[in-house]
Homo-oligomer: A and B are copies of this chain.
Amino acid sequence: MEILDGKKLSEQIKEEIKQAVILRKENQKKIPHLAAVIVGNDGASLTYVGSKVRSCEQVGFKSTLIHLESKITEEALISKIRALNNDDTLDGYIVQLPLPQHIDEEKILLAVDPKKDVDGFHPSNFGRMALEMDSFIPATPFGIMEMLRRYKIDVSGKHCVVIGRSHIVGRPISILMSQKNNPGNATVTLAHSRTKDIEKLTQKADIIISALGIPEFLKADMVKDGVIVIDVGITRVLDESHPKGYIIKGDVAYDEVSKKSSYITPVPGGVGPMTIAMLLQNTLLSCERKF
């Protein structure tokens, strides 16, 4: 069993990005600049955004945190987004989800200039990705693909079961894994809440990518020996014995499943840190005007 060490790998990728920024500086080129918009004071969202901003500093990017009140109107938020679209100093920005109930996420998403959509959530980027054109790939699936690439895991012809059909993880990773590419060319089954007898699927899978958000859903008796397991789940589980009052759990019962796996991502320290690294990578690509 080999652990897919997302923490270590993400540090390596961030180091590469840092070197690229230093080189840009030496050549008097623009320094990448990422902005993050956060609306309201959700604890998890603040943690994620904070960690994105810190990562920007770590690689030498310029970063701007735009913290807006939760009662901001949809109109005001859209005009803020327009301003970001028109800000030439900015290479990319993200709008941290979820947004407050009174704001239509789809409208906000569509207001983002696809050229600055480093989250890859705009339909124009999503369609380009699905049709195998250059695009910003959403950071989490991008991180998973990069992890498979760097660990040189051959997934071609293998049967991959993706659990969860969210727009930001399950759907895009199911597309990427089955495209004619390397990594890619896997036979992909997309399972979700309406899937019957999911264990019959997972028991035969060569690769399982779980993005469900149910702590320790995937048990040892649901997988076969030698399986490759990518755990995208990040759920806060209350734990009074822990100083923070909670611990982070993945979708996979790690202790028992890891014994049967050939490769497995831990939680935390697996897909999570890769996601942030790939957001930085997208911002660098945007700055380099790669597409």
Contacts and interface: CB of A to CB of B under 8 A. Distances in A.
Interface of A: 106, 122-133, 135, 156-157, 165, 167, 171, 174-175, 178-180, 185-192, 194-196, 201
Contacts of A157: 194-196
A123 B128 CA distance: 5
A128 B192 CA distance: 20
Contacts of A178: 165, 190, 192
A99 to B, nearest CB: 16
Contacts of A130: 123, 126-127, 130, 167, 171, 175
A121 to B, nearest CB: 8
A167 to B, nearest CB: 5
Q: How many copies does the complex hold?
A: 2
Contact of A195 (B106, B171, B187): B187
A122 B127 contact: yes
A195 B128 CA distance: 24
Nearest to A188: B190
17 contacts: A123-B133, A127-B127, A127-B130, A130-B167, A130-B175, A131-B167, A132-B167, A165-B179, A171-B175, A174-B190, A180-B192, A185-B192, A187-B190, A187-B191, A187-B192, A187-B196, A189-B189
Contacts of A180: 165, 192, 194
A178 B185 CA distance: 20
A201 B188 CA distance: 11
Contacts of A122: 127
Contacts of A174: 190
A187 B178 CA distance: 15
A98 to B, nearest CB: 16
Contacts of A165: 178-180
Contacts of A124: 123-124, 127
Nearest to A121: B131
